[in-house]
């Protein structure tokens, strides 16, 4: 009876220790590796029959903890034993030194797979140490520590990836946003998206559906595009698509043009979760091209008119025993004789054969480690981690099962974050390049071939200077080195124009933006490069066209000028200033009235305002005062310049001196005294 009571007490103690170990990782959340190592050493010292405990962790930096009696040189002895044996599993050795009162029986337990995360060494004067129970407790404790360290690392990596993605999206020279749900509710917009839509801040978007945040799109096709993408799961690509936006700095709808992609975002189950918006405003390019066309037209017109549980398994006898905690994890009942069958039926069919194979292989080898998916009747799909060990010569295998669903969620979140990053990168029309602090290219997207002519495989691993002209390479290397050492930038990191080097050897003009992040203490840089060759050509063509037009207009013998659709004159040719003796500041807008005869001016204004209101051409003869103070008659013709929608974009006017002609026709200079001759023709 006493022996049974003792066994019960011992079993209760084991269960208590296992439960305590199962809950320990929750205490370690948020703690540093040094704090975790100290705590782990304390737990082993008080749980096992130990005189001294030494814990060594590898990651992220070597960390040690020693607890227990003063056995001088214990750490050195453990290092010697491990160096000689290089254990991949539990190692038990007798260790002694002359200055120790007793020899120690030491159990060295690897932490992680083959000890990749460290080890724990427990010394005890009892020659029977460790017994089967203590070996199990030490294994469970080491596994709990490994899981805690792995979970902490995954959380840190997921958080770093989330920050990196957020920084990348914020620094991208494109409008980027994320929408969720069928009503397209904003969950993210970067600053660039806020700016191009004329809003004040991200608060104008976040949590709001698109119809509320951008009501002007209600009558435009974009919401229909989004609905179609959400319904079909197929991306929508737009090129130079026109949009009308309420730009807050003008208070009026403004016409803009965009290249954009609506990319569906899917969950792990492939369901449509939302839509990624990537848009680049190309209004300047479209308007520049149209301005070239209009400039050419003006030239022609000017020429024309100017959790955890434990288990036991004996394959030889078929006996299984699960702890109450493990039954709770599995959603099974210990009193149900068919609980093993239910457990097997709930394992995902895709995983079952692998689980069965690894269980048998693990039993044969004495070591088992499995991860599998399981349908819990109440909690849904769960991920379980199973680890077991069978001592040599024994038939019963002991082990634990842990619910690692949260860890898997973190891993999936990390993968989804990486997939989102790659989705953004691969749908961007700009070349995206990531380098390390040595300027070695780590990543490029497929658009790098469109911009530089290299495929990703050709330049990943090469130095970034391969994409630079010779005269830029030393500047880049010096600037990068200075930033890594001091944090000081030598140029603007946003929308900077720099020369690039195409694979063909030709220099290409680029608009480049940069971003920087740190990982494992090293600097990494991501750049966005846009080929602006076409824009440069358009700008040069426009400049030359304008020069030709102004040269032609200044060579005309007539006075010439141009006005906005509302009649505001913004340009005169040189002949106007020579005749009137005025300055551009005096003539801007409606300043031309100062060189008109006050008696005739009301008729001129009435006729000019009628043309502005109706869009009709203007023709009238009236006097203009010269620099000598003398009024002379001028035949004035004004022609409206229209766009492809027949809207007036400019007025082009000429004033021709008809003084000699009028004198000839009337035959007398006295007619100048009769102002009734200044009337509309």
Q: What is the DSSP letter of 460?
A: T
Q: How far apart are CA 665 and CA 325, in angstroms?
A: 117
Instruction: Return the structure tokens found at 500.
Output: 């690039």
Question: What are the tokens at 354?
Answer: 């692998």
> Half-sphere exposure of residue 459, counting CA atoms within 13 Å on the CB side?
28
CATH hierarchy code of domain 556-677: 3.30.450.20
Q: Which helix (H) or strand (E) holds 255?
A: strand 252-266
Residue 170 pLDDT class (50, 70, 90 cuts): low
CB of 554 within 8 A of CB of 565?
A: no
Q: Are 117 and 59 in contact (CB under 8 A)?
A: yes
Buried/exposed 468-492: b ≥16 CB within 10 Å, e otherwise: beeebbeebbeebeebeeeeeeeee
Confidence band of 146 (pLDDT split at 50, 70, 90): confident
Give the pLDDT score at 665. Answer: 76
pLDDT at res. 228:
95
Query: What is the tens place of the pLDDT at every residue in 353-407?
Result: 999 999 999 999 999 999 999 999 999 999 999 999 999 889 999 999 999 988 8
| pLDDT of residue 677 exceeding 90 | no
- Contacts of 273 by beta carbon, 8 Å cutoff, 6+ apart: 180, 265, 266, 267
Give, in order, the Cα–Cα distances in Å from 31 to each of 25, 28, 108, 153, 626: 10, 5, 24, 12, 87
With beta carbons less than 8 A apart as the criterion, state whether 562 and 552 touch: no
CA gap 189, 198 in Å, rounded: 13
Rounded Cα distance, 490 and 674, in Å: 72
Tokens read off for 207: 């949590």
Q: Residue 437's pLDDT is what?
A: 85
pLDDT tens-digit readout, 228-243 = 999 999 999 999 999 9
CATH topology classification for 309-410: Beta-Lactamase (3.30.450)
pLDDT above 60: residue 262:
yes
Which range, of 127-136, 330-339, 451-460, 549-558, averages the lowest pLDDT?
549-558
The ranges assigned to domains in the chain are 14-153, 172-305, 309-410, 430-532, 556-677
Which CATH number among 3.30.450.40, 1.10.10.60, 3.40.50.300, 1.10.3720.10 corresponds to the domain 14-153? 3.30.450.40
Q: Is the pLDDT of residue 422 over 70?
A: no
What percent of the chain has a predicted confidence (pLDDT) above 90? 44
Mean pLDDT of 100-125: 89
For residue 134, pLDDT over 80 is answered with: yes
Can you give 284-310 as a three-state secondary structure string?
HHHHHHHHHHHHHHHHHHHHHHCCEEE
User: Per-residue pLDDT averaged across 597-624, rounded?
Assistant: 95
CATH number for region 172-305: 3.30.450.20
Which pLDDT band holds residue 679 (cuts at 50, 70, 90)? very low
Percent of the chain with pLDDT over 70: 86
Determine the pLDDT at residue 545. 66
pLDDT given at position 668: 47
Q: Pick from 304, 302, 305: which is nearest to 551 by CA?
A: 302
Tens of pLDDT, residue by residue over 540-562, are 775 786 677 677 767 678 999 99
Give 623-644 pLDDT, tens digit per residue: 999 999 999 999 999 999 998 8
The better pLDDT of the pair 416, 35 is held by: 35
Using a 10 angstrom Cβ sphere, with 0-12 exposed, 13-18 middle and 19 or more buried, the burial of residue 412 is middle
Per-residue confidence (pLDDT) for residue 384, from 0 to 100: 93
Indicate the helix (H) or strand (E) that contains 617. Answer: none
Same CATH topology for 309-410 and 556-677: the answer is yes
Q: What is the architecture, at CATH level 2, of domain 430-532?
A: 2-Layer Sandwich (3.30)
CB-side neighbour CA atoms (13 Å) of 677: 18
The pLDDT mean for the chain works out to 84
Position 611 scores a pLDDT of 95
Give the 3-state DSSP-derived string for 49-91, with helices as H, strands as E and coil as C: CCCEEEEEECCCCCEEEEEECCCCCHHHHHHHHHHHHCCCCCE
Q: Label residue 505 exposed, middle or buried (CB < 10 Å: 0-12, 13-18, 19+).
A: exposed
Residues 6+ apart with CB under 8 A from 8: none
Q: Assign 174 a pLDDT band (cuts: 50, 70, 90).
A: confident
Residue 498 CA neighbour count, 13 Å, CB half = 25
For 275-309, what is each residue's pLDDT tens digit?
999 999 888 888 888 888 877 666 455 444 447 89
Q: How confident is the model at residue 12 (pLDDT cuts 50, 70, 90)?
A: low
- By the 8 A CB rule, do 635 and 666 touch? no
| Interval 308-336: pLDDT, tens | 899 999 998 888 899 998 999 999 999 99
How far is the CA of 314 from the CAs of 317, 478, 630, in angstroms? 6, 68, 121
Q: Identify the helix (H) or strand (E) that includes residue 315.
A: none
């Amino acid at each position: 009876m006493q022996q049974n009571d003792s066994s019960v007490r011992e079993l209760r103690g084991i269960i208590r220790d296992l439960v305590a170990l199962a809950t320990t990782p929750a205490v370690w959340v948020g703690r540093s590796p040094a704090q975790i190592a100290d705590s782990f050493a304390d737990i082993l010292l008080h749980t096992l029959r130990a005189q001294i405990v030494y814990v060594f962790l590898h990651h992220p930096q070597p960390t040690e903890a020693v607890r227990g009696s003063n056995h001088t040189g214990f750490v050195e002895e453990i290092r010697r034993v491990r160096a000689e044996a290089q254990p991949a599993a539990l190692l038990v050795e007798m260790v002694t030194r002359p200055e120790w009162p007793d020899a120690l029986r030491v159990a060295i337990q690897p932490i992680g797979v083959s000890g990749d995360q460290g080890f724990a060494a427990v010394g005890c004067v009892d020659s029977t140490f460790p017994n089967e129970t203590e070996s199990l407790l030490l294994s469970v404790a080491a596994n709990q520590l490994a899981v805690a360290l792995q979970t902490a690392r995954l959380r840190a990596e997921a958080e770093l990836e989330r920050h990196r993605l957020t920084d990348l999206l914020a620094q991208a020279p494109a409008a980027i946003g994320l929408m969720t749900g069928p009503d397209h509710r904003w969950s993210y917009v970067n600053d660039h998206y806020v700016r191009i839509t004329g809003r004040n801040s991200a608060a104008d978007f976040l949590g709001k559906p698109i119809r509320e945040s951008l009501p002007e799109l209600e009558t435009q096709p974009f919401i229909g595009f989004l609905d179609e993408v959400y319904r079909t799961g197929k991306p929508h690509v737009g090129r130079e698509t026109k949009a009308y936006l309420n730009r807050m700095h003008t208070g009026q709808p403004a016409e803009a043009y965009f290249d954009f992609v609506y990319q569906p975002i899917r969950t792990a189950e492939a369901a449509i979760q939302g839509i990624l918006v990537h848009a680049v405003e190309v209004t300047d390019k479209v308007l520049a091209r149209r301005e070239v066309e209009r400039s050419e037209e003006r030239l022609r017109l000017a020429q024309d008119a100017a959790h955890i549980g434990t288990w036991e398994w004996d394959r030889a006898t078929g006996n299984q025993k699960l702890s109450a905690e493990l039954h709770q994890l599995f959603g099974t009942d210990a009193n149900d004789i068919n609980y093993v069958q239910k457990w097997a039926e709930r394992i995902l069919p895709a995983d079952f054969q692998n689980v069965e194979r690894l269980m048998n292989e693990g039993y044969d080898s004495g070591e088992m480690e499995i991860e599998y998916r399981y349908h819990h009747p109440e909690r849904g799909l769960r991920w379980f981690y199973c680890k077991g060990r069978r001592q040599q010569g024994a038939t019963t295998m002991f082990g634990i099962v842990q619910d690692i669903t949260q860890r898997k969620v973190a891993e999936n979140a990390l993968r989804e974050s990486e997939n989102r990053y790659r989705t953004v990168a691969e749908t961007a029309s700009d070349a995206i390049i990531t380098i390390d602090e040595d300027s070695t290219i780590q990543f490029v997207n497929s658009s790098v071939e469109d911009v530089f002519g290299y495929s990703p495989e050709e330049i990943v691993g090469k130095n970034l200077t391969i994409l630079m002209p010779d005269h830029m390479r030393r500047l880049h290397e010096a600037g990068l080195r200075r930033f890594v050492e001091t944090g000081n930038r030598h140029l603007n990191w946003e929308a900077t124009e720099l020369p690039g080097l195409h694979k063909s050897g030709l220099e290409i003009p680029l608009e480049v933006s940069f971003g920087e992040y740190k990982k494992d203490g090293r600097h990494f840089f991501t750049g966005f490069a846009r080929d602006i060759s076409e824009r440069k050509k358009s700008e040069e063509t426009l400049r030359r066209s304008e020069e030709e037009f102004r040269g032609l207009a200044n060579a005309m013998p007539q006075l010439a000028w141009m006005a906005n659709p509302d009649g505001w004159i913004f340009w005169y040719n040189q002949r106007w200033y020579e005749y009137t003796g005025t300055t551009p500041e005096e003539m801007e807008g409606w300043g031309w009235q100062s060189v008109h005869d006050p008696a005739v001016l009301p008729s001129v204004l009435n006729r000019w305002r009628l043309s502005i209101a109706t869009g009709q051409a203007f023709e009238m003869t009236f006097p203009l005062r010269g620099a000598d103070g003398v009024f002379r008659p001028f035949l004035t013709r004004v022609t409206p310049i229209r766009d492809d929608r027949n809207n007036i974009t400019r007025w082009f006017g000429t004033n021709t001196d008809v003084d000699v002609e009028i004198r000839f026709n009337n035959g007398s200079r006295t007619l100048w005294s009769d102002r009734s001759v200044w009337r509309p023709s």
